[in-house]
Amino acid sequence: MSGPWRTVARVLTEAFQPPIVVTALLLISPAIEPGFPGTMGFGLLGALFVCVLPLAYVLVMIRLGRITDHHVSDRRQRPPLLWLALISVLAGVGVLQLIGGPMSVSVMIIALLGGIAVLAVVSAFWKMSGHASAIAAAAVITVLMFGPAWLPLLVIVPAVGWSRVVLRAHTLGQVVAGSLFGGTVIAGLWWLLREWML
């Protein structure tokens, strides 16, 4: 596919790339506890460890020629990045606990940690879509947090999946698997942790 549809696909891919989606999710994560929106700063701190530091690593590796692009399209380049992201995420949880941040932010980070761990293992064998996983998890969690009025947000999930297939970054199977993984496993883990820890 070429022309304007490919441009739309590129816009969707860039606008809903995992670091942006996860940052937004972490910013709203304290909404299930008293003090929101004043507690959004803790979500931003979480995003520093979950999104900003791993992305900074990617950009440095691109400059050094060790990673091809910021979407880490080469499956073989993904495992080291994902393991580094795991370490960064664990550090973020530790810092939030030390400063007495809202447990809801830590719950979100731990759920994402579980997702990153699975993606790290799967990426060694198969290129499941990180874009699809992130947007599906974010959409489902947002609906669970704020109620049925947010159900239209789920339309973004197939739109982002479509963009990844059009750009030939993933097969349909990889996108579907990523969507199901994010929307059920990551969102389900978040739900269970919320019930257990809050």
Structure confidence by residue, pLDDT tens digits, 58-98: 899 999 988 988 878 787 888 888 888 889 989 999 999 99
DSSP letter for 75, please. G
Distance in angstroms (rounded) separating the CA atoms of residues 27 and 125? 32
Q: What is the pTM of this model?
A: 0.90
Distance in angstroms (rounded) separating the CA atoms of residues 157 and 138? 9
Distance in angstroms (rounded) separating the CA atoms of residues 173 and 164? 11
Structure confidence by residue, pLDDT tens digits, 133-192: 999 999 999 999 999 999 999 999 999 999 999 999 999 999 999 999 999 999 999 999
Q: What is the CA radius of gyration of the chain?
A: 16
Residue with tokens 């874009």: 131
